[in-house]
Chains A and B, each alone.
Chain A
Amino acid sequence: MLQGITRTGAYEWEVPIGFVPGMRVPGKFFLSESLGASLEAGAIQQLANVATLPGILNYSLAMPDIHWGYGFPIGGVAAFDRTEGVISPGGVGFDINCGVRLLTTPLAVKDVAGRRDLVDALYNAVPTGVGAKSAMKVSAQGLDGMLMKGARFAVEAGYGLPRDIERCEENGCMKMADIKPVSQKARQRGIPQGGTLGSGNHFLELQAVREIYDQDAARAFGLMQDQICCMIHCGSRGLGHQVCTDHIKLLEAATKKYQIRLPDRQLACAPIQSPEGKAYFGAMAASANYAWANRQMITHTTREVLRRMFGIGYDDMPLVYDVAHNVAKMEEHLIGGKRVAVCVHRKGATRSFGPDCPDLPHDLAAIGQPVIIPGSMGTPSFVLKGTAVAMEKTFGSTCHGAGRVMSRTQAKKKISGREIAVDLARRGIYVRAPNEAAISDEAPDVYKPSAEVVRVVHDVGISQMVARLEPLGVIKG
């Protein structure tokens, strides 16, 4: 482990004040010894940099999938006092509300065994990769609907079920969204991309439930052994990327105006209550809504393919849940025995609200929020549940995925996309991607083992394992 860091628990490590100049609170991260072997010094530097921002409360936190990002580390969580604190696009990222949702089906493993045509049909139906345009024509008015109403817009347009809305974090819509600070450029990028998956680590996977760890929670979430599910991982597309680019520029000027000293330009920020801070939050919330509408539109396309090919009812494919993992949210948390209004930044981290927290659907109030953790192509994904421990330790947050350990340059040198596809096929996983590079970029061993990351958050108690799902078919952009 790195010099200057102290161990404070079986999986808890502290970065003391003074690790970088100007830290207002310590840093804290959760990691096992084996995951520690791949910890980057740059990521800890970024964790410490976040601790210098005005109004930060308790700790600058990072989950066990921590790695080197820009501004905040990936896996970073930080809460800021709503009256004295700041908001930063560097704590959310370019892909605002990049997130993941899980859809169940009434199909079992035996029903889809050998059905490569299903993966092909999904690949042909869902636009993926660079330059892909949506077949679902979104008008300028429709775009306003996506930005203001999120998942509800898509459901009202015929792309889903009313129950889907309840099964999204925030009911798939941040109410403080504001379209005024969303630039024309962002709008131009958003219109043709509604219902598209994107590229990079975004995917649509056909998965099978292989193991259930918590029967009560699994039943409440609608999950059964051997069930076929579909996982969708994508975000706010070019619209969100443009909002981030635009507002980093605006907030750089605000950083000077409000005389905030920063260790990294990418942490450009403004007081939450300032006009610049409010403009970013409103535009970010609108982008988050676009992402929920986008995932809802892809869900519709997926259900239509399954309905057509297997004759199953559209209503028989309920959503387990939809979580955001790049977002800033206005929440209340208990700090020193008092309820405090905060702005929580989650950058590559998932909300993990425990039982009886606000925003949970009624039927899940006793269980906790479903937390969906995607693996990479060949590795398992997990469903967990939110906990009271997360509310105490991490502002109701947990990990978001496996976290990369190998660069794309190394990955391409190590093994070809074709070899990976052959190996995965041998293990019963069929991959469709535009080319081989898209496969080798995201190969299973470029990520930390998802099972190890999930074991750490489970043992720390910031979310608890409910089920393990393994991929059968993968669509990559």
Chain B
Amino acid sequence: MSYEEIPHTADIKIRARARSLPDLFSDLCAALMEVMYGNTRSCTLTKEITIAGNDPETVLLDFLSEVLFISEVEGIVFCDAAIQIDSQKLHAVLRGELFDPARHAGGTEVKGFSYSGLSISHDANGYMAEIVFDV
């Protein structure tokens, strides 16, 4: 797992690097959970998400938006995501636990994900993404 927060004046900008596109998306999901709930998470329940889109950027934003929605509405804090990407379709199996104010409160709410400042690139070493979380 490899992601870092890089300076951004107004919001939270994350840079992630991974060997594959599914791992990259999984890392960004983990970054989102860390921003919102910190690092104390266990894996007692599972959720599945399927997303279809025309390009990796759209699939990524739709995936993270769906994670945010489920997390908020069902009160789930995710610990990891096993992702498969087949042509333009993403299937994710997420593991997590119910939100516990004693362990998960105090993070920053993410409002959404912007196309501004979004990039996904790859070279011989693997994939890299930069994304802005609006907070």
For residue B48, CB closer than 8 A to chain A, the reply is: no
Partner of B107, one of A95, A130, A266: A130
**Interface bits A172-186 vs B (CB < 8 Å: 1, else 0):** 000000000000010
Q: Flag if A441 contacts B108 (CB, 8 Å).
A: yes
Q: A71-B116, A266-B116 are in contact. Are A409 and B6 (CB under 8 A)?
A: yes
In the complex, A406 Cα to B8 Cα: how many Å? 8
In the complex, A188 Cα to B70 Cα: how many Å? 10
Give the residue name and chain of the A residue nearest to B13 (CB). Answer: A407
Q: Flag if A185 contacts B69 (CB, 8 Å).
A: yes
For residue A149, CB closer than 8 A to chain B, the reply is: no
In angstroms, how far is the closest chain A Cβ from the Cβ of B126?
Answer: 24
Which segment, of B16-24, B79-87, B89-97, B98-106, faces chain A? Answer: B98-106
Q: Flag if B112 contacts A405 (CB, 8 Å).
A: no
Q: Flag if B134 contacts A131 (CB, 8 Å).
A: no
For residue A244, CB closer than 8 A to chain B, the reply is: yes
Q: Flag if B111 contacts A95 (CB, 8 Å).
A: yes
Partner of A71, one of B7, B69, B114: B114
In the complex, A245 Cα to B115 Cα: how many Å? 11
Interface size class for chain A?
35 or more
Q: Flag if A241 contacts B106 (CB, 8 Å).
A: no
Q: Flag if B106 contacts A130 (CB, 8 Å).
A: yes
For residue A300, CB closer than 8 A to chain B, the reply is: no
Partner of B104, one of A46, A131, A198: A131
A435 contact set on B, CB distance < 8 A: 105-106
**Interface bits A390-433 vs B (CB < 8 Å: 1, else 0):** 00000000000000111111100000000000000000000001
B113 contact set on A, CB distance < 8 A: 245
In angstroms, how far is the closest chain A Cβ from the Cβ of B23?
Answer: 24
For residue B124, CB closer than 8 A to chain A, the reply is: no
In angstroms, how far is the closest chain A Cβ from the Cβ of B90?
Answer: 15
In the complex, A288 Cα to B24 Cα: how many Å? 35
Q: Flag if B69 contacts A130 (CB, 8 Å).
A: no
Which segment, of A3-11, A62-70, A138-146, A360-368, faces chain B? Answer: A62-70
For residue A227, CB closer than 8 A to chain B, the reply is: no
Partner of A69, one of B10, B69, B72: B10
Q: Flag if B72 contacts A68 (CB, 8 Å).
A: no
Q: Flag if A70 contacts B116 (CB, 8 Å).
A: yes
Q: Flag if B109 contacts A264 (CB, 8 Å).
A: no
Q: Flag if A200 contacts B112 (CB, 8 Å).
A: no
In the complex, A266 Cα to B114 Cα: how many Å? 6
Give the residue name and chain of the A residue nearest to B57 (CB). Answer: A265
Partner of A405, one of B9, B116, B118: B9
In the complex, A244 Cα to B112 Cα: how many Å? 8
A245-285 at interface with B (beta carbon < 8 Å)? 245, 248-249, 264-266, 268
For residue B65, CB closer than 8 A to chain A, the reply is: yes
B34-57 at interface with A (beta carbon < 8 Å)? 36-37, 57
B37 contact set on A, CB distance < 8 A: 130-131
In angstroms, how far is the closest chain B Cβ from the Cβ of A58?
Answer: 24
Give the residue name and chain of the A residue nearest to B65 (CB). Answer: A245
For residue A199, CB closer than 8 A to chain B, the reply is: yes
For residue A40, CB closer than 8 A to chain B, the reply is: yes
A405 contact set on B, CB distance < 8 A: 9
B65 contact set on A, CB distance < 8 A: 245
For residue A299, CB closer than 8 A to chain B, the reply is: no
Q: A244-B112, A435-B106 are in contact. Are A70 and B134 (CB under 8 A)?
A: yes
A185 contact set on B, CB distance < 8 A: 69, 73
In the complex, A95 Cα to B134 Cα: how many Å? 9
Give the residue name and chain of the B residue nearest to A262 (CB). Answer: B115
A67 contact set on B, CB distance < 8 A: 9-10
In the complex, A266 Cα to B115 Cα: how many Å? 5
Q: Flag if A70 contacts B115 (CB, 8 Å).
A: yes
A208-251 at interface with B (beta carbon < 8 Å)? 238, 241-242, 244-245, 248-249
Q: Flag if A129 contacts B106 (CB, 8 Å).
A: yes
In the complex, A477 Cα to B135 Cα: how many Å? 12
Q: Flag if B69 contacts A404 (CB, 8 Å).
A: no
In the complex, A226 Cα to B75 Cα: how many Å? 43
Give the residue name and chain of the B residue nearest to A238 (CB). Answer: B72
For residue A94, CB closer than 8 A to chain B, the reply is: yes
Q: Flag if A407 contacts B9 (CB, 8 Å).
A: yes
Q: Flag if B109 contacts A477 (CB, 8 Å).
A: yes
Q: Flag if A407 contacts B7 (CB, 8 Å).
A: yes
Q: Which residues of A contact B (CB under 8 A)?
A: 40, 46, 67-71, 74, 90, 93-95, 129-131, 185, 188-189, 198-200, 238, 241-242, 244-245, 248-249, 264-266, 268, 404-410, 433-435, 437-438, 441, 477
Q: Can you name 11 extra interface pairs (CB under 8 A) apart from A268-B115, A438-B106?
A: A68-B8, A70-B114, A70-B116, A71-B114, A94-B112, A131-B101, A199-B108, A242-B69, A248-B115, A249-B62, A266-B116
28 cross-chain CB contacts under 8 A: A40-B9, A46-B116, A69-B116, A70-B132, A71-B116, A94-B112, A129-B106, A130-B37, A130-B104, A130-B105, A130-B106, A131-B101, A188-B73, A189-B72, A189-B73, A198-B109, A200-B108, A241-B112, A242-B69, A245-B65, A245-B113, A264-B116, A265-B115, A266-B115, A405-B9, A408-B12, A409-B5, A435-B106
Q: Report the 5 A-B pairs with minimum CB-CB distance, sorted nearest first.
A: A70-B114, A70-B116, A435-B106, A265-B115, A434-B106
